[in-house]
Amino acid sequence: MKLSNENIIEMYTKMIRIRKFENRAMNLFAEGQIGGFVHLYIGEEAVATGVCSSLRPDDYITSTHRGHGHIIAKGGDLKYMMAELFGKETGYCKGKGGSMHIADATKGILGANGIVGAGHNIACGAGLAFQYKGTDQVCACFFGDASTNQSTFHEGLNLASTWKLPVVFVCENNGYGISVSQARHQNITDISQRAVAYNIPGITVDGNDVFAVYEAVNEAVARARKGQGPTLIECKTYRWRGHFEGDPTVYRPVEELEQWKKKDPIPRVEKYILENNVMTQAELDQLNTDIDVLVEEAVDFALDSKMPDVASAVEDVYTDIVEEGRTR
Amino acid sequence: MRELTYGQGIKEGMRIKMLENPDVCIFGEDVGLFGGCFGVTAGLFEEFGEKRVRDTPISEGAIIGAAVGSAAVGLRPIPELMFVDFATVGMDQLVNQAAKMRYMFGGKLNLPMVVRLPSGGGVAAAAQHSQSLEAWFTHVPGLKVVYPSNAQDAIGLMLTAIDDDNPVIYLENKTLYAMPGEVEDEVKPIPFGKANIKKEGSDVTIISYGKQVYDALKAAELLAKDGIDAEVIDLRSLYPLDKEAIVESVKKTHKVVLVSEEAKRGAYTGDVAAMIAEECFYECDAPIKRVGALNCPIPFSSVLESYVLPSAEDVVQAVKSLF
Amino acid sequence: MNSIGIIANPASGKDIRRLVSHATVIDNNEKINIVERVILGAQQNGVKKVYMMPDAYNMGYRVMDKLQTSGELRCDIEVFDFYKVDGVEDTYNAVRGMNEKNVGCIVTLGGDGTNRAVAKDINEIPLIAISTGTNNVYPDMIEGTLAGIAASVVASGKFEKDLYAKKDKIIEIFYENASKDIALIDAVISRDLFLGSRAIWLIENIEKIIVARSHPASIGFSSVVGSKIIITEEDDFGAYVTVDKNQPRVLTAMAAGIVLPIGTEEPVILGFNDEYQFTAFGRGTIALDGEREIEFHKDQTFTFKVSRNGPIHVDIKKAIEVGQMNGFFKVNK
């Protein structure tokens, strides 16, 4: 597998962007500056980064309610994301979607999604369109461990395997479906096993090792492009925060979190970068500072942006019909 | 002019667009090799091949979901679910995904897809294969809903539906599939939101769509014998709704009866009745009446089923109660 | 007491080789079935106590539950109660625990990688290795019941070990005069940049292959060397080769379902007193028994030695033969 130093730096940059964006969002939520449901991706950065680094700009992804990381990794702009968290008119969705629905079709992002398991079939649809049009694009479908108990997971894997659709199913197994641990929501530990039922390859990788994820997805993407059909890749990982901001996480032991923090995906890459002289410590520090600035710029952009005009609430329902708004 | 059945009309609409645009494709339950459970897609598999007329697994979520995903990246799919009742299985994909993605994403995504859903009772198919669920779809912002009553409209509405950049629910009545009708040699697209005045009249407005258009017309015939001149409106498009045509008619007749095959409770006709009350209450000189199915599941036994479903006789009674 | 230890690796049989080759998939349910058969084979022949490694899938408890429910469990199963980390450390911990409990033998379910981890601390406990991994050379593809029966013969302590087992060769890797790691079958130096998904499969990245044994009728790097020279378990030496695509190429079973032409220089024999020193040309990794384990960078020097410091490896068939010839399986009225 060939990865240039530039590739490695790009991956590291994505991970740091995610971590810093999420940390900032966490603080903004705590300060009451942003509201709603905010599901943070801290701790899982290696998955989104490893997956999206294997994709081309014209490839697509479907995301989940915990979507910030996927969107940043696929090239989403922090400014428009942050503005969306603030509900501003300059946000990706003009303030209509919020954290759970950020999308950017021009970057191949078919949206974060508030319905657990909704992405499986949508990803199949995107894969169907690529196959239909004879392009070699692929769609990567992100989903959590709990969504593999939804019918959509089984429908999607069945359809994709039967039609050999160019879809890479990426399971982010973070051990919990909201508050219910995997042991309490399914009778297996390795979700990759479920691939056997659909006669497709299913593998388990260390989801906190960006290189492991990258390598596996790279192979799966290559298969998909060649018309060999879908792959199920289970990435074992852990979310450091609760399911949503404000979740007291009484359902999991503190030691478990501490154990996983030792497997933090970011220092693992830093160690590699320094040991192999990909960057010096000074360059690494500079990069971190640059991203701090980028995140602050995003916050400033969001704060400086206007709230949407209330009349826009009834726009964008259809391409051609705008119903009457409220007269007050 | 020529004669086509309602089912052939639906097919012709799809076929015209498939010839015109390579991105138009059909997939659904038994639509390919088998030609569709009601024979609507018969011949298209042979004509266009498996790539464009594709049999799917019986996975309603996957069918609608695949339509959403493929529409989002550039196809114009026509998924079919065999019975509207099965839409309940794929409802998340219709209601939470198809209807909302454009809006949630700030208007930056189009989802051109036409979901074909055979509806209605009258074929002894019992409670899970006979429903009329139009109110479920018209309730959801983001969906357009049409319901042709004849071959000509079936073609015209299909042409418009496929060209529309929004998700369109295309309801079909399964008792009408074999019904022949006059069709123009070259059918033009019928714009959504344009009702069709099937019969002009001055004493009462009977509003309906789909199969009940025929009950309404028959009722009008019977009422004429009693000296009541009924106007019959075929809505064709449930959303967008041709409010103008309705209001105009009410202003003329001052009496309204709405007819559909839905269970009356929570029915779409209730929404139209409320619209009339809001828009032109003072034009009405009698209560707004609705005729629908009884508030029970559709039963199997023919005597029970025909008792539960509305008929022309029920429409006549409803109209007479206003005089 | 007549006891055995079982280490069933929950991670074996599901790595990236299912994607890059046609490797066998063995799910954890099948491992549970195999463990059941091992235990049933063993308890029937006198094993009273079975110690098991804990794992995330709770294979030990599941086996216990199934055999208790079916009314077949007659021995005592104890799953070690230590804090598991769902990594190779669990194997090290379990092997240490089994040493403390003085088990009569250890049965492993896994691949070459699993057995390499077990071999590090197994000391003098005989090892029965059942293959549930990938491209395996070390463990045997054998029915669990038979492995259980063999385990009971070994654990009885009634027979001399050299009747059914012999001490294995290993490759020892040293860095800066300290032992760094071991391999049971092969060590491979590659230009793969990081450990990543661990498996190693890209022949074009491979520089050197060091083997403790080699045979053309095996899968993987042992087969690459085996295409030039056969080195058996009995031979008191190993070998290394330099991969070079300009050398005459030989078709080799590199991985499950993957037979590729590979060119190497002639093998250099490594006797027990020889050593092979490797100084890094740049960044790369050393894979041990098929899995990338050591990342190196330029100018680091590693020393490879072949020795007979490996585990006491049980020949399952021989163990059962010893039992049969000595009346071990006779039923006393």
CA-wise closest residue to C214 among C149, C264, C179 = C264
The pLDDT confidence band at residue C333, using thresholds 50, 70 and 90, is: low
Report residue B56 CA to chain centroid gap: 24
In this prediction, residues C187-212 reach a mean pLDDT of 91
Q: How far apart are CA B150 and CA B6, in angstroms?
A: 5
Strand pairing report for C258-263 and C249-255: antiparallel
Q: Which residues in chain B touch residue A118, judged by CB atoms under 8 angstroms apart?
A: 65, 92-93, 96-97
Of B70, B103, B240, the CB nearest to A125: B70
In this prediction, residues C306-313 reach a mean pLDDT of 97
* Ranges of H-type helices in chain B: 6-20, 44-48, 60-72, 91, 101-104, 134-138, 151-163, 212-225, 243-253, 268-280, 302-308, 312-320
Domain B2-183: CATH superfamily is: Thiamin diphosphate (ThDP)-binding fold, Pyr/PP domains (3.40.50.970)
Contact B276, B182 (CB under 8 A): no
| A4, closest residue in chain C (CA to CA) | C193
Name the 3-class secondary structure at A119.
helix
Say yes or no for a CB contact (<8 Å) between A3 and C193.
Answer: yes
Ramachandran angles phi, psi of B275, nearest 5°: -60, -45
pLDDT one-digit tens code per residue, B196-248: 999 999 999 999 999 999 999 999 999 999 999 999 999 999 999 999 999 99
Q: Which residues in chain A touch residue B23, judged by CB atoms under 8 angstroms apart?
A: 133
Q: How far apart are CA A233 and CA A220, in angstroms?
A: 8
Say yes or no for a CB contact (<8 Å) between C27 and A201.
Answer: no
DSSP labels, B44-70: HHHHH-TTTEEE--S-HHHHHHHHHHH
| A132, closest residue in chain B (CA to CA) | B51
CA-wise closest residue to A51 among A61, A39, A37 = A61
Contact C62/A at CB under 8 A: no
Strand pairing report for C237-242 and C268-271: antiparallel
Say yes or no for a CB contact (<8 Å) between A193 and C27.
Answer: yes
A115-132 in b/e form (b: 16+ CB < 10 A) is bbbbbbbbbbbbbbbbbb
Residues in chain C: 333
pLDDT confidence of residue C1: 60
Say yes or no for a CB contact (<8 Å) between A219 and C192.
Answer: no
Interface size A-B, in CB pairs within 8 Å, comes to: 148
Name the 3-class secondary structure at B323.
coil
Checking if the pLDDT of C80 tops 80, the result is yes
Say yes or no for a CB contact (<8 Å) between C297 and A276.
Answer: yes
Checking if the pLDDT of C17 tops 70, the result is yes
Chain B interface with A: residues with Cβ < 8 Å: 23, 25, 51, 56-57, 59, 61-62, 64-75, 77, 92-93, 96-97, 101-110, 141-142, 144, 164-166, 240
Q: Determine which of B107-111, C201-205, C314-318 has the lowest per-residue pLDDT on average.
A: C201-205
Contact A187/C at CB under 8 A: no
Q: Which residues in chain A touch residue B141, judged by CB atoms under 8 angstroms apart?
A: 317
Q: Which residues in chain C touch residue A220, judged by CB atoms under 8 angstroms apart?
A: 19
Contact B233, B198 (CB under 8 A): yes
Tokens at residue C152, please?
Answer: 């009971």
Contact A307/C at CB under 8 A: no
**B254 noted as active-site residue:** no
pLDDT confidence of residue B306: 96
Say yes or no for a CB contact (<8 Å) between B70 and A132.
Answer: yes
User: What are the distances in angstroms from CA A101 to CA A95, A168, B67, B104, C277?
Assistant: 10, 21, 19, 6, 57
The pLDDT confidence band at residue A228, using thresholds 50, 70 and 90, is: very high
Which domains does chain C carry?
3-168+310-325 (3.40.50), 170-307 (2.60.200.30)
Residue A295 Cα, gap to closest chain B Cα (Å): 22
pLDDT tens string for chain B (323 positions)? Answer: 999 999 999 999 999 999 999 999 999 999 999 999 899 999 999 999 999 999 999 999 999 999 999 999 999 999 999 999 999 999 999 999 999 999 999 999 999 999 999 999 999 999 999 999 999 999 999 999 999 999 999 999 999 999 999 999 999 999 999 999 999 999 999 999 999 999 999 999 999 999 999 999 999 999 999 999 999 999 999 999 999 999 999 999 999 999 999 999 999 999 999 999 999 999 999 999 999 999 999 999 999 999 999 999 999 999 999 99
Choose the catalytic residue: B129, B211, B254, B289.
B129
Residue A163 Cα, gap to closest chain B Cα (Å): 9
Contact C185, C276 (CB under 8 A): no
Q: How far apart are CA C192 and CA A43, in angstroms?
A: 26
Looking at every residue in chain C, the average pLDDT score rounds to 93
Q: How far apart are CA C328 and CA C320, in angstroms?
A: 9
pTM of the entire predicted model = 0.93
pLDDT confidence of residue C254: 87
Say yes or no for a CB contact (<8 Å) between A96 and B93.
Answer: no
Helix axis angle for B60-72 and A151-163, nearest 10°, is 70
Query: Which long-range contacts (C-beta less than 8 Å, at least 24 apart) are formed by A185-189?
Result: A185/A145, A185/A146, A185/A149, A186/A145, A186/A148, A186/A149, A188/C28, A188/C57, A189/C10, A189/C28, A189/C56, A189/C57
CATH 3.40.50.920 is right for the domain spanning B196-320:
yes
pLDDT one-digit tens code per residue, C43-70: 999 999 999 999 989 999 999 999 999 9
Torsion angle of the four alpha carbons B132, B133, B135, B138, in this order, in degrees rounded to the nearest 10: -120
pLDDT one-digit tens code per residue, A36-87: 999 999 999 999 999 999 999 999 999 999 999 999 999 999 999 999 999 9
Q: Is the dihedral of CA A132, A133, A136, A139 positive or negative?
A: negative
Contact B73, A129 (CB under 8 A): yes
Contact A126/B at CB under 8 A: yes
pLDDT confidence of residue B23: 98
pLDDT one-digit tens code per residue, A186-225: 999 999 999 999 999 999 999 999 999 999 999 999 999 9
The domain spans of chain B are: 2-183, 196-320
DSSP labels, A224-287: HHTT---EEEEEE---SS-SSTT---TTS-HHHHHHHHTT-HHHHHHHHHHHTTSS-HHHHHHH
- Looking at domain A5-314, its CATH class is alpha beta
Q: How far apart are CA A135 and CA A225, in angstroms?
A: 9
Name the 3-class secondary structure at B268.
helix
CA-wise closest residue to C20 among C263, C227, C205 = C205
Name the 3-class secondary structure at C311.
coil
User: What are the distances in angstroms from CA C319 to CA A267, B305, C129, C155, C232?
Assistant: 49, 76, 13, 11, 20
Looking at every residue in chain A, the average pLDDT score rounds to 96
Q: How far apart are CA B83 and CA B139, in angstroms?
A: 19
Report residue B150 CA to chain centroid gap: 11
Contact A209/C at CB under 8 A: yes
The pLDDT confidence band at residue A184, using thresholds 50, 70 and 90, is: very high
pLDDT confidence of residue C135: 65
The pLDDT confidence band at residue C108, using thresholds 50, 70 and 90, is: very high
Q: How far apart are CA A194 and CA A154, in angstroms?
A: 9
Say which DSSP state B96 is in: I
ipTM over 0.90: yes
Contact C65/A at CB under 8 A: no
Instruction: Give the residue from A2, A6, A189 with the most C CB atoms within 10 Å of its CB, the best one to mutate.
Output: A189
The domain spans of chain A are: 5-314
In this prediction, residues A89-102 reach a mean pLDDT of 96
Q: How far apart are CA A267 and CA A281, in angstroms?
A: 12
> Same fold for the domain at B2-183 and the one at B196-320?
yes
Q: Which residues in chain A touch residue B165, judged by CB atoms under 8 angstroms apart?
A: 319-320
Contact C155, C98 (CB under 8 A): no
Residue A50 Cα, gap to closest chain B Cα (Å): 23
Q: Which residues in chain A touch residue B243, judged by CB atoms under 8 angstroms apart?
A: none
Q: Which chains touch A (3 or more CB pairs under 8 A)?
A: B, C
Contact B195, B236 (CB under 8 A): yes
| A221, closest residue in chain C (CA to CA) | C19
Say yes or no for a CB contact (<8 Å) between A152 and B57.
Answer: no
Instruction: Give the residue from A182, A190, A209 with the most C CB atoms within 10 Å of its CB, the best one to mutate.
Output: A190
**3-state DSSP helix/strand/coil % of chain B, to nearest 5:** 40, 20, 40
